[in-house]
């Protein structure tokens, strides 16, 4: 095996925490192609027109949002939402992600009787449908929350024990939405709080929409105990970046177009950053890995977590992101492991889950050298 292969294998075997993954961005290409073929046969789309769009690898930020519109056409119905959720969880678990905060935008589609609630129920059905690994989720009877009830964790040395993955959900507000639609998502999240919904994300095309449109819903969410993470600084927008930082979210994603004042505020408020290296490079939000803000934040010990963003759309995986960080920024195994373990401190789930995850990492640490 080459050194590159050995390094990648090591990154796969390490337990990992994923905090920034969009459901519809994390779908397998093979599933998207299968869904496109079926819709092509029904005459809803022209398969040959969309095949190359799905398989393309270099995408501008604009292309990405066009692709999401296509993906949403392919995944409209409840059954498909359930299927992609199941597959996405299986894929993360298969690379030893032990805690996944999966985010998705609840969708309303009158023509097929889909409400935001029924969409979310279809997602939860997907969680229950996973059979190859144990999913720890409050709506599920194998959930722990308390360390004593937890099932065997992934074991990197003793072969194929059954894997366990904690899953929590974040509901996304799309920047195309109105204040009322954003509020509907927050209310749904509150109703589903006991069922594993832990927070709210603001995402969508960063050149669309105004911060003030979403602020009332985000404030309401926070007042009622939901955690907030914001896509912040994915495009240059100094006023919005400052307003978002003044809001003091629990975490932010990206931070690509930050200026000096923004870094100061981020650092003095100690807001953890979800870093999506491949996504930032493919969309050219950051010109190169050498110019990426990871290095500065990491050397300054600022809280950060490596994430995939859209593993399907950007043809990546969490293990690849760690492997990339290792080669781009010269991190050794010990540093990678600590980086992965430290992400536990920024999750939105309970202290009981955090404790259980710390134990998982401690057990793994004895076997990782």
Reading the block at residue 241, the tokens are: 């970046």
Instruction: Please name the residues in contact with 26: beta carbons below 8 A apart, sequence gap of 6 or more.
Output: 84, 88, 91, 92, 102, 308, 310, 311, 312
| CA–CA distance, 68 with 24 (Å, rounded to integer) | 8
| CA–CA distance, 35 with 69 (Å, rounded to integer) | 14
| CA–CA distance, 365 with 235 (Å, rounded to integer) | 38
| CA–CA distance, 165 with 90 (Å, rounded to integer) | 9
Query: Applying CB under 6 A, which part among 21-29, 33-41, 143-151, 327-335 lies near ligand 6MZ?
Result: 21-29
| CA–CA distance, 31 with 260 (Å, rounded to integer) | 43
Backbone angles phi, psi at 287, to 5 degrees: -70, -35
| CA–CA distance, 33 with 54 (Å, rounded to integer) | 7
Min dist. Cβ of residue 100 to ligand 6MZ (A) = 13
Min dist. Cβ of residue 148 to ligand 6MZ (A) = 34
Nearest alpha-carbon partner for 103 in 222, 212, 185 = 185
Residue with smaller CB distance to ligand 6MZ, 23 or 326: 23
- Per CB under 6 A, 309 contacts ligand 6MZ: yes
Other Cβ atoms closer than 10 A to 6 = 10
- Per CB under 6 A, 231 contacts ligand 6MZ: yes
Kindly identify the residues of this chain, within the stretch 81-140, that bind ligand 6MZ according to CB under 6 A.
Answer: 104-105
DSSP-derived 3-state class of residue 259? coil
| CA–CA distance, 256 with 268 (Å, rounded to integer) | 18
- Per CB under 6 A, 279 contacts ligand 6MZ: yes
Instruction: Please name the residues in contact with 4: beta carbons below 8 A apart, sequence gap of 6 or more.
Output: none
Query: Applying CB under 6 A, which part among 8-16, 17-25, 41-49, 179-187 lies near ligand 6MZ?
Result: 17-25
CB 201 within 8 A of CB 250: no
Residue with smaller CB distance to ligand 6MZ, 168 or 341: 168
- Per CB under 6 A, 172 contacts ligand 6MZ: yes
Query: Applying CB under 6 A, which part among 1-9, 16-24, 131-139, 154-162 lies near ligand 6MZ?
Result: 16-24
Kindly identify the residues of this chain, within the stretch 241-260, that bind ligand 6MZ according to CB under 6 A.
Answer: none
Query: Applying CB under 6 A, which part among 18-26, 139-147, 320-328, 360-368 lies near ligand 6MZ?
Result: 18-26
Reading the block at residue 280, the tokens are: 């930032």
Min dist. Cβ of residue 328 to ligand 6MZ (A) = 19
Active-site entry in 177, 234, 274, 321: 234
Beta strands 97-104 and 134-136 are unpaired
Q: Which of 20, 22, 222, 292 binds ligand 6MZ (CB under 6 A)?
A: 22
CB 314 within 8 A of CB 27: no
- Per CB under 6 A, 319 contacts ligand 6MZ: no
Backbone angles phi, psi at 314, to 5 degrees: -105, 15
Instruction: Please name the residues in contact with 158: beta carbons below 8 A apart, sequence gap of 6 or more.
Output: none
> x-or-dash pattern for ligand 6MZ, window 24-53, by CB under 6 A?
xx----------------------------
Min dist. Cβ of residue 347 to ligand 6MZ (A) = 19
- Per CB under 6 A, 174 contacts ligand 6MZ: yes
- Per CB under 6 A, 316 contacts ligand 6MZ: no
Query: If binding means CB under 6 A, how many residues of this protein chain bind ligand 6MZ?
Result: 18
- Per CB under 6 A, 64 contacts ligand 6MZ: yes
DSSP-derived 3-state class of residue 323? helix
Kindly identify the residues of this chain, within the stretch 281-300, that bind ligand 6MZ according to CB under 6 A.
Answer: 283
Min dist. Cβ of residue 47 to ligand 6MZ (A) = 22
**234 a catalytic residue:** yes
* Residues acting as catalytic residues: 234
Q: Report the interface residues with ligand 6MZ, using CB under 6 A.
A: 22-25, 64, 68, 104-105, 172, 174, 203-204, 231, 234, 279, 283, 309-310
């Amino acid at each position: 095996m080459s050194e590159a292969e050995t390094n990648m294998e090591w990154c796969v075997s390490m337990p990992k925490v994923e905090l920034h993954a969009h459901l519809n961005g994390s779908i397998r290409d093979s599933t998207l192609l299968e869904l496109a073929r079926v819709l092509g046969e029904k005459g809803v789309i022209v398969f040959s027109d969309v095949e190359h769009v799905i398989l393309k690898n270099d995408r501008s930020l604009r292309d990405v949002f066009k692709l999401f519109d296509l993906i949403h056409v392919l995944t409209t119905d409840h059954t498909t939402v359930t299927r992609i959720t199941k597959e996405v969880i299986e894929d993360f678990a298969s690379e030893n992600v032990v805690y996944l905060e999966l985010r998705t935008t609840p969708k309303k589609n009158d023509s097929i009787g889909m409400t935001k609630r029924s969409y979310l129920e279809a997602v939860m059905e997907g969680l229950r449908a996973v059979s190859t690994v144990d999913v720890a989720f409050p709506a599920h009877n194998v959930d722990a929350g308390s360390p004593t009830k937890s099932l065997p964790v992934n074991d990197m040395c003793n072969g194929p024990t059954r894997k366990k993955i904690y899953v929590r959900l974040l509901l996304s507000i799309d920047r195309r939405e109105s204040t009322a639609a954003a509020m509907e998502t927050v209310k749904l999240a509150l109703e589903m709080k006991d069922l594993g919904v832990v927070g709210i994300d603001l995402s969508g095309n960063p050149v669309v929409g105004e911060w003030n449109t979403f602020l009332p819903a985000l404030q309401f969410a926070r007042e009622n105990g939901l955690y907030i993470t914001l896509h912040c600084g994915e495009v240059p927008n100094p006023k919005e970046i400052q307003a978002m930082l003044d809001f003091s979210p629990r975490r932010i994603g990206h931070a690509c177009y930050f200026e000096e004042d923004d870094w100061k505020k981020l650092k003095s408020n100690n807001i953890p950053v979800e870093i999506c290296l491949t996504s930032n490079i493919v969309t050219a939000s950051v010109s190169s890995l050498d110019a990426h803000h990871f290095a500065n934040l990491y050397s300054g010990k600022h809280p950060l977590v490596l994430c995939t963003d859209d593993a399907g759309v950007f043809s990546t995986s969490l293990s690849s992101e760690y492997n990339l960080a290792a080669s781009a920024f010269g991190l050794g195994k010990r540093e990678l492991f600590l980086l992965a373990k430290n992400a536990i401190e920024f999750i939105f789930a309970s202290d009981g889950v955090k404790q259980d995850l710390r134990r998982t990492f401690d057990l793994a640490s004895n076997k990782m050298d």
